[in-house]
Amino acid sequence: MLDRSSQPTPPNYAPMDALNEVLQDFRLSGVNYSRCELRHPWSVAIPQQPLLRLHFVSKGPCWIYTEVQGWQELHDGDVVLLPQGIAHRMASAPDVADDSLAGAHVTALGSNVSDVVREGTGATSILFCGSMTLGVCALNPLVALMPPVIKGCDVVGNDPIVGPLLAALTAEIARPQMGSATILSRMADLLAAQLIRCTVNCEKASTKGWLAAIRDPHIGRALAAMHRNPGYSWTLANLAGLAGQSRSIFAQRFSSVLGEGAARYLAGLRMQLARELLGQSGLSVAEVATRLGYASEASFARAFKRITNVSPGIVRRTLPGRMDMDLGL
């Protein structure tokens, strides 16, 4: 389909559950979390960043503002997921405008969990906030298609795990114990994955695009395999074999659901991953070419420029490295 690597046969692993295949890499992307104990009045502005954001309200008062939905009050036990990391503000009341964390006391509870306390005289809010970088993983196309703001209470009825998980998270936040940092981060990872899965399952009206493809029992298996091993020399024949379909039926169905052929989709996926690797990993152009299945740096460079209109060398010199994350906020 593209320049072939030296692999003679396709991987013998054919994922039966495509969504599970993309979600299983969820924790590999890096996370930062914070347990926040804030006294009214408080307000925090969170800028647009390429991070998935999670806010869980153990105890209010708490409000969230986004341009798409305006001010919304959050109640005890509410969780909000912002898949694309859009700009938003968290506050104890809509009329509190000034940022309030400058004087907060921050204590590290672990390598990725912090305790944030802001003293005051008003009512105490207790929040658990997380930020996750998806990096090079198969979730990126799915996240791009999700609603910009997902409230847990909107999906909890569709997944019996979300309710008990929220209750467990509440209990752990309210009574921190030895090992709480690890437990909190694991539960938050699981909660975000559950919300993503529930959102996918709730979007069953979609008949085209990535959401429809990942649910298709045939196309989804091939799609997950490409995301799992983008550097393999995929052909129409071995992808159709993974899908359990003939080449003609697979090609027609893939194009119908995703709006482009499998070869073009794979090329776009490789270039998306290449941009991330070139800008964030410190790998050379030749190393990225090898990782993505190209026989030579020159063939990779030609494909990259054809699809992105810039050379990989320019991207490697100009893209910033992965940003530092602060407190999960």
Of all residues in the chain, what percent are helix, strand and coil, respectively (each to 5)? 45, 20, 40
pTM of the model: 0.66
- Last-in-domain residue among 142, 172, 202: 202
- Read out DSSP for 2-27? -S--S--S--S---S-HHHHHHTTGG
- Measured over the CA atoms of residue 158, residue 191, residue 69 and residue 73, the dihedral's sign is positive
Q: Per-residue pLDDT tens for 205-216? A: 566 777 778 778
* pLDDT above 70 (res 247): yes
Q: Residue 64: which of 47, 89, 87 has the closest Cα? A: 89
Q: Considering the domain boundaries, does residue 75 fall inside one?
A: yes
Q: What is the pLDDT of residue 4?
A: 41
Please check whether residues 178 and 51 belong to one and the same domain.
yes
Q: Are residues 91 and 34 in the same domain?
A: yes
Q: Identity (one letter) of the amino acid at 179?
A: G
Structural domain includes residue 218 = yes
Q: Are residues 42 and 172 in the same domain?
A: yes
Residue at 140 is within a domain = yes
- Percent pLDDT > 90 in the chain is 28
pLDDT at residue 124 in the model: 94
- pLDDT for 185 equals 74
Any domain includes 325:
no
| Mean pLDDT, residues 52-73 taken together | 91
pLDDT at residue 217 is higher than 50 = yes
d(C-alpha 160, C-alpha 162), whole Å: 6
Residue-level pLDDT at 175: 72
DSSP letter, residue 92: S
Domain boundary residue, one of 185, 202, 219 = 202
Per-residue confidence (pLDDT) for residue 261, from 0 to 100: 94
DSSP, residue by residue, 265-309 = HHHHHHHHHHHHHHHHT---HHHHHHHTT-SSHHHHHHHHHHHHS
Whether 139 and 81 map to the same domain: the answer is yes
Same domain for 225 and 287, yes or no, is yes
- Cα torsion for 240, 243, 249, 253, to the nearest 10°? -120
**Domain contains 116:** yes
d(CA 235, CA 125): 55
Q: Are residues 58 and 182 in the same domain?
A: yes
For tokens 């509440």, the residue is 170
Higher pLDDT, 46 or 165: 46
Residue 115, domain CATH: 2.60.120.10
Q: Quick one: pLDDT at residue 139? A: 55
Q: Say yes or no: 117 and 197 in one domain.
A: yes
286: domain CATH number is 1.10.10.60
Mean pLDDT lowest among 108-117, 131-140, 268-277: 131-140
Identify which has the larger pLDDT, 200 or 74.
74
Assigned domain for 4 exists: no
Q: Which of 162, 180, 202 is the last residue of a domain?
A: 202
Same domain assignment for residues 195 and 213 = no
Q: In this structure, are residues 140 and 134 in contact, taking their beta carbons and an 8 Å threshold?
A: yes
**Structural domain for 242, as ranges:** 208-318
Domain presence at residue 70? yes
Q: How many CA atoms lie within 13 A of 104 on its CB side?
A: 24
pLDDT tens sequence across 120-171: 889 999 998 888 766 545 456 667 667 788 887 666 666 777 778 878 877 8
Overall average pLDDT of the 92-116 stretch: 82
